Structure 1
Amino acid sequence: MLREDIMCTNGVNTGQFDQMVEQIDDHVKLERRWTHNLAHMAADGGFAKTGKTLHEAMEKLDEVRALLADARDALEDDAEAASGVVTNLV
């Protein structure tokens, strides 16, 4: 997790940036849950192709969440390696 004492690195508020990526992940997590529910509803209702397609969409949403986690890790690495101006919270 990003250090909370770093507020701004190279003009990027890293704490806020990290929170925004986390919010996107929360949104995708909710959409994944709905997709999961609809996939089962379709499959249980005899709509096999629809259920299969929604399960595939669910897998793609899992991939998006993994990439968002990678982005958060990359942000931390980039912030630590930045050679620019760092402003600390007081």
Structure 2
Amino acid sequence: MCTNGINTGQFEQMVDQIDDHIKLERRWAHTLGHMAGDAGFPTVSEKMHAAQALLDDVRALLDEAKDALEDDAQASSNVTVSLV
């Protein structure tokens, strides 16, 4: 569905692709955090787990963006765009 020049279905798929990428990076941050902790690098482990938490926040914001996309598309569906 296109709304005001935005293909909302494609837009949502692109957000999902970003989420998939962040999910992979989160998994790596988690793994590296444990590796660092097991190797006796507590500060590195702490920082990696903090990065993991921030990536969790990013994923939550992406979910919110997808929800907002639906809301915004409905709210702006009454807008008419004219060529000049």
TM-score relative to the length of structure 1: 0.85
- The size of the alignment, in residue pairs, is 79
State yes or no: 1:54 paired with 2:48: yes
Q: Which has the bigger relative contact order, CA under 8 A and spacing at least 6?
A: 1
Percent identity reads 63
Q: Distance in 2 between matches of 1:20 and 1:84?
A: 24
Q: Distance in 2 between matches of 1:75 and 1:49?
A: 39
Aligned to 1:84: 79
Structure 2: gaps spanning 5 or more residues: none
1:46 partner SS: coil
Q: By percentage of residues, which structure has more helix?
A: 2
Q: Which runs of 4+ in 1 moved over 4 A?
A: none
Alignment of 1:1-90 (within 5 A): 7-82=1-76, 83-85=78-80
